[in-house]
Amino acid sequence: MPLLLTADPGLEDVVLAELADRGLAGEARPYGYAGLVRTEGDAAGLLDLRSVHHLIRERAHLTLPGRGLGDAVAALSGVAFPELAGGASFAVRVHRRGEHGFKSPDLERALGAVLVERYRAPVDLEAPDLPIRVDLFDRRALVGIQLTRAPLSRRYPKVYAPPAALKTTVAYGLLRLAGVGGRGRLLDPFTGSGTVAIEAAQAFPGVAVVALDIRPRVVAGAQANAAAAGGAGAGRFLRADARRLVGVLPPGFDWIVANPPFGRRLGRDLDLRALYARFLDQAALLLRPGGRLVFLAKRRGMAARLVAERPALRLRHRRVVELGGLYVGLFVVERRISPS
Ligand X SMILES: C[S@@+](CC[C@H](N)C(=O)[O-])C[C@H]1O[C@@H](n2cnc3c(N)ncnc32)[C@H](O)[C@@H]1O
Residue 201 backbone phi and psi in degrees, to 5: -65, -35
Residue in 46, 218, 323, 328 binding ligand X, rule: CB under 6 A = 218
Q: Rule CB under 6 A: is residue 223 a binding residue for ligand X?
A: no
Secondary structure (3-state) at 164: coil
Q: Which of residues 139-178 bind ligand X (CB under 6 A)?
A: 162, 164-166
How many angstroms separate the CA atoms of 252 and 237, rounded?
18
Residue pair 235/211 in contact by the 8 Å Cβ criterion: yes
Residue in 73, 261, 314, 336 binding ligand X, rule: CB under 6 A = 261
Q: Rule CB under 6 A: is residue 196 a binding residue for ligand X?
A: yes
If 0-12 CB within 10 Å is exposed, 13-18 middle and 19+ buried, where does residue 32 land?
exposed
- List all residues 6 or more positions away from 29 whose beta carbon is below 8 Å from its beta carbon: 12, 36, 37
Name the DSSP letter for residue 82: G
Q: How far is the CB of 188 from ligand X (least distance, A)?
A: 8
Residue in 215, 236, 264, 305 binding ligand X, rule: CB under 6 A = 215
Q: Which of residues 64-123 bind ligand X (CB under 6 A)?
A: none
Candidate ranges 71-79, 87-95, 193-201, 319-327; the one touching ligand X (CB under 6 A): 193-201
How many angstroms separate the CA atoms of 313 and 292, rounded?
9
Nearer CB in complex with ligand X: 154/215: 215
Nearer CB in complex with ligand X: 137/262: 262
Nearer CB in complex with ligand X: 19/323: 323
Residue pair 130/116 in contact by the 8 Å Cβ criterion: no
Q: How far is the CB of 225 from ligand X (least distance, A)?
A: 8
Task: Summarize as ranges the residues that interact with ligand X (CB under 6 A).
Answer: 162, 164-166, 189-190, 192-193, 195-196, 212-215, 218, 241-243, 259-261
